[in-house]
Amino acid sequence: MAALHLSNISKKFAEVLAVDDLSLDVADGEFVVLLGPSGCGKTTTLRMIAGFIEASAGAVRIGARDVTHDPPYRRNVGFVFQNYALFPHLTVAENVAFGLRRRRRPEREIAERVARALALVKLEGFETRMPRQLSGGQQQRVAIARALVIAPDVLLLDEPLSNLDAKLRRDVRAELRRLQQLSGITTVMVTHDQDEAMSIGDRLVVMNHGRVQQIGTPQALYRHPANRFVAGFIGRGNFLAGAPGADGRSFVTRGGLAIICARIDLGADTLLIRPENIAVHPGRASGVNCFAAVIEAAVFQGSAFDLDLRLATGETLEAQVAAGNAAADWTVGQQVTAMIDPDAAVGIVSSSSLPA
């Protein structure tokens, strides 16, 4: 186990910069998730860490070792593939034993470690099965056992959950987190699913067009995104165009509303308000950040209502409020007051970090 350091790595395919000057330090035992839309360079980054592709520039270090130019078989890295990539001609036990055999461990040690790895992923009794006789979830667990059994310095997961159905995905997600914390192994996972990323990662790296947009904890990214791309990729939000007000505490929207907010970034041109940070009151009310509005749409979600509000300025807001009893239901056309939480609204820049 070791820390992982990526220093200014880039990858150029022909003339396309797939990854542009990416730097990332992953602490020993940390779980970091690379998140972004397809083609953002997250998988390329992961493959550069594994050594399947070589970085065009920059350095990859695992612990104190510079592995930038090492082939994958000298990196001691565990890799779990999206499609599992089990060896179809080998039994479950031989799949897991493969890495240990390459390391020429004694037969007894191999048997012990394979048994322990299969117990870890709860697949005792499956030793002699062939991969094709297993369900998708079981194959996934064999792939994880196969990667963990070699005691890799870093565990790399490439969209490990995307081939599983929704219910199984939640289980395996919790299982992955449990295994990672149990083994204390430095882990980097790639996903395009923000819920998955938020629920599993210690820190997230949001990428777009080969560039890092922001690195931070799920809370930091959600509450204070660096730009509109990050804000839109992680969670839902209202984006009101405008400019910082003269008082330095408020943001003035294009429609002319002055909204007090928690913080305003340098050069902010957009106000981000998460739907759950807007309280809605029936009728008229006054106070900080209170604005008269009309309900344009009300969608009942069980525990919550999704409300589309139109303000007097013509600007619209999406609010999510807890659903109470039947007497507290919302109706379309209702006159209400929207109260924007001044501690949750943030002024951000809309432009994202793009390749030079």
Partner 1 sequence: MVRGRGLSERLRRLAFAGAVAVSLTLILAPLVLVVWLSFFRNEILSLPPEGYSLRWYGALAEQHQFVTGFQLSALVALAATAAGLLVTLPAAFALTRGELPGRAAILHALMSPLIVPALVVGAGLYLALIEFEVETGLPVTGTVFGFAAGHVLLTIPWSLRLLTANLAGVDPSIEDAALSLGATPLVTALKVTLPLIWPGVVAAALFSFVVSFGNIEVSLFLVQPGQTTLPIAVLQYLEWKVDPTVAAVSALQIALVAAALLITDRFVSLAKAV
Size of the site for partner 1 (CB under 8 A): 26
Rounded Cα distance, 115 and 210, in Å: 41
Q: Please enumerate in sequence order all residues whose Cβ is within 8 A of that of 227, keeping only pairs 6 or more positions apart, or say none.
A: 213, 214, 348, 349, 350, 351, 352, 353
- Tokens at 200, concatenated: 């599993």
- Is residue 78 near partner 1 by the rule CB under 8 A? yes
Query: How, if at all, do strands 278-282 and 270-273 pair?
Result: unpaired
Choices 5-13, 99-107, 268-276, 294-302; region in contact with partner 1 by CB under 8 A: 99-107
Nearer to partner 1, 142 or 206 (CB): 142
Rounded Cα distance, 212 and 118, in Å: 36
By CB atoms closer than 10 A (0-12, 13-18, 19+), residue 279 is middle
- Is residue 42 near partner 1 by the rule CB under 8 A? no
Considering only residues 75, 209, 211, 274, which one is a binding residue for partner 1 as defined by CB under 8 A?
Answer: 75
Q: Rounded to the nearest 5°, which phi and psi values hold at 18? A: -80, -35
Give the residues across from 108 on adjacent strands. Answer: none
Shortest Cβ 55–partner 1 spacing (Å): 17
Amino acid at 108: R
Q: Which residue has the tokens 């493969």?
A: 98
- Is residue 81 near partner 1 by the rule CB under 8 A? yes
- Is residue 289 near partner 1 by the rule CB under 8 A? no
- Tokens at 354, concatenated: 């793009």
Choices 34-42, 95-103, 293-301, 333-341; region in contact with partner 1 by CB under 8 A: 95-103
- Is residue 103 near partner 1 by the rule CB under 8 A? yes
- Is residue 98 near partner 1 by the rule CB under 8 A? yes
Nearer to partner 1, 81 or 239 (CB): 81
- Is residue 102 near partner 1 by the rule CB under 8 A? yes
Per-residue binder mask for partner 1 (CB under 8 A), 137-156, x = binder: ---------xx--x------
Shortest Cβ 87–partner 1 spacing (Å): 6
DSSP summary character for residue 163: T
Residues in contact with partner 1 by the rule CB under 8 A: 50-52, 71-73, 75-79, 81-83, 85-89, 98-99, 102-103, 146-147, 150
